[in-house]
Structure 1
């Protein structure tokens, strides 16, 4: 049930690059957080240069204007090991999409089942949790 927002400078990425970035993020989610293949909700946000700020050297970084901000809202409860594995896997997959590992900035935001509706005014994840743990 993750919801992913990817922000980038619009002058740094071509529209043709975004699908492979999307698939790489989803692949890492399925591998490390056991997200089902069909649980696929992502939004890309292109920003003008005047709307996109970062410190290129914070925490010994070497970021460039191709920085990706990846915010992932998902069910809380992932282990530190899962998170570290996920970050490392993104750093393996995204360079094949033209993204340097140093330009991958990830924020995980934990939520609970009652914090989600997928439409119809129903908390589907609460109902799902009562029956099975498909989205653990």
Structure 2
């Protein structure tokens, strides 16, 4: 049930490139976090140069204007090891499939409880699913 927000410098990526990024992120989520095919919710934000600020060398990572910020809101509970595998897999896939340098893949996972999700109809579907499984 991840919700993905991707931010980038607007003149750097074209629509077809963004579609490739979307597919690649979904592939990594499916491979590393077992996300189902239909659980696909992504929003892309292109920013003007003045709206897109970042450190070019923080923590000795050399970033370029090809930087993409990938914020993923998801249910909590995955291990540190699983998260680290996801970061590596996503960076490697984005480089191989989309030509984005691994240094330019900035990822933030935001974990939240099941009660914080409604996928429509004013219902917290994930709570209902969780209660049925118990």
TM-score over 0.5 for the pair = yes
Work out whether 1:8 is the aligned partner of 2:2.
no
Alpha-carbon separation, structure 2, partners of 1:37 and 1:79: 22
Alpha-carbon separation, structure 1, partners of 2:94 and 2:50: 25
- Normalised by the size of structure 2, how large is the TM-score? 0.96
- Cα deviation 1:64-91 (Å, max 9, x = unaligned): 0010000000001110111011001012
For residue 14 of structure 1, report the CA deviation from its aligned partner. Answer: 1.0
Q: Which runs of 4+ in 1 moved over 4 A?
A: none
Q: Which residue of 2 aligns with 1:128?
A: 129
For residue 132 of structure 1, report the CA deviation from its aligned partner. Answer: 3.3
- Normalised by the size of structure 1, how large is the TM-score? 0.95
Q: Which residue of 1 aligns with 2:111?
A: 110
For residue 131 of structure 1, report the CA deviation from its aligned partner. Answer: 2.0
Alpha-carbon separation, structure 1, partners of 2:106 and 2:91: 10
Gapped regions of structure 1 (runs ≥ 5): none
Report the aligned-residue RMSD: 1.0
Alpha-carbon separation, structure 2, partners of 1:10 and 1:132: 43
- Tell me the SS of whatever aligns to 2:6: strand
- Tell me the SS of whatever aligns to 1:55: coil
Alignment: residue pair count: 133
